[in-house]
Amino acid sequence: MASMHCSSPTFLVSMTSTRPVTGPHSSRQPKCRSSTSVSWSRQWLTRPNISFGITASTTYDNPYALARRFATLDHITDGRVGFNIVTSYLHSAAMSFGLEKAVEHDERYVIADEFMQVFYKLLEGSWQADAVVGDKATGIWTDPSKVRKVNHVGKYFRCAGPSLVDPSPQGTPSFSRPVPVRKESPSLRSTYADLEGTAALFGGWSGTDLSTFSDDEDFEFAGAPAIQSMINSWTETVPGTKDTKWTKKLVLQHLAISGAHERAIGSPTTVANILQKWVDEAQIDGFNISYATTPGTFEDIVKYLWPELRKRGVLQEKYAGTSMRENYLADGGGPKVRSWHPASRYTWRA
């Protein structure tokens, strides 16, 4: 929906993965849950200036299959695909993928670390950059001496490799990870927040019944990984929350307006000021915009916010590069990973 309102090359569409919700508080409304990597293929052809970020889980996806998928998409889009990395905290998602309960917070990130090692090895270390010969006269497509197995053996994954797909424009796709960076006004929370409704909705998301806690009771986080993930994120990124006593009431106040995400509420000038403050203080490279209403939120952004940002000269509308990485970094370094990127240590150089 967002891309239908935007012809500007600055607009990067982030598509979320399926998040099944079950239990007494779950929504029964019929919704489209199609695979985004397939359903958005038409947009890649008709929106040549837009890059697309696809959400995938390092807890439930397989690194070999996902590396193949992203390499294929990177070829199809000429380097305009990104990987929005999540570790998946929902109990309902765990049940849908064959587990009895969600993996604990710390272990999910250990799994993610090994997942990305395999992902990098396949996309950066199993093919040399010039492995594809493409000689029609001899019928030779690939030089076999420049393709190798990765032979990864770890605690969570075993993968022989190599990648089935030849090197794509970016190799390793661009990455994103949503991070909250500020608190909203307490007055806005009290004005717009429906704490009872938020508690019911959160119960559907996480499988955690918040009615068993009093408003001012400290949470025991060990049995509620969904809450632990959000609180860890808030504590690490929101100033002044390191020693905060996280009660049900406080958690619901944070969740009430935009779930686990941060929000900017106000006039176009106010919202533009907030976005600029995030960029200036936290060195934000871009924004993963979610909606309060659809398509209303996206229509409002294009109608009201875009002109304000354009007036300030901060809305970048032209790019020298064609790939997602080139347009994000704008450093003239081409579409491949930089030397400082963790994937570069796995690059197979001649």
Q: Which domains does the chain have, with CATH numbers?
A: 2-177+319-341 (3.20.20.30), 186-306 (no CATH)
Average pLDDT score over residue span 127-155: 95
Max avg pLDDT among 24-28, 222-226, 272-276? 272-276
User: What integer best gives the mean pLDDT of the chain?
Assistant: 79
Average pLDDT score over residue span 20-45: 61
Question: Which tokens belong to 344?
Answer: 């570069």
User: 305 φ, ψ to 5°?
Assistant: -80, -45
Least confident of 98-112, 115-129, 273-287, 301-315: 273-287
User: 175 φ, ψ to 5°?
Assistant: -115, 155
Question: Which tokens belong to 45?
Answer: 């052809």
By the 10 Å C-beta count (0-12 exposed, 13-18 middle, 19+ buried), 250 is classed as middle
Expressed in angstroms, the distance from the first to the final Cα of the chain is 44
- Alpha-helical runs (H) found in the chain: 36-39, 41-46, 63-76, 91-96, 105-125, 186-192, 195-206, 225-237, 248-258, 268-282, 296-300, 306-312, 324-329
Least confident of 64-78, 153-167, 202-216: 202-216
Average pLDDT score over residue span 341-346: 96
Give the separation between CA 181 and CA 193, rounded to whole angstroms. Answer: 20
Question: Which tokens belong to 85?
Answer: 């990395």
Report pLDDT digits (tens) over 45-66.
777 778 888 889 999 999 999 9
- Answer whether 0.85 is exceeded by the pTM: no
Average pLDDT score over residue span 196-214: 69
Name the pLDDT band for 131 (thresholds 50, 70, 90). Answer: very high
Give the separation between CA 238 and CA 87, rounded to whole angstroms. Answer: 20
Report pLDDT digits (tens) over 178-198.
444 334 444 434 433 466 666
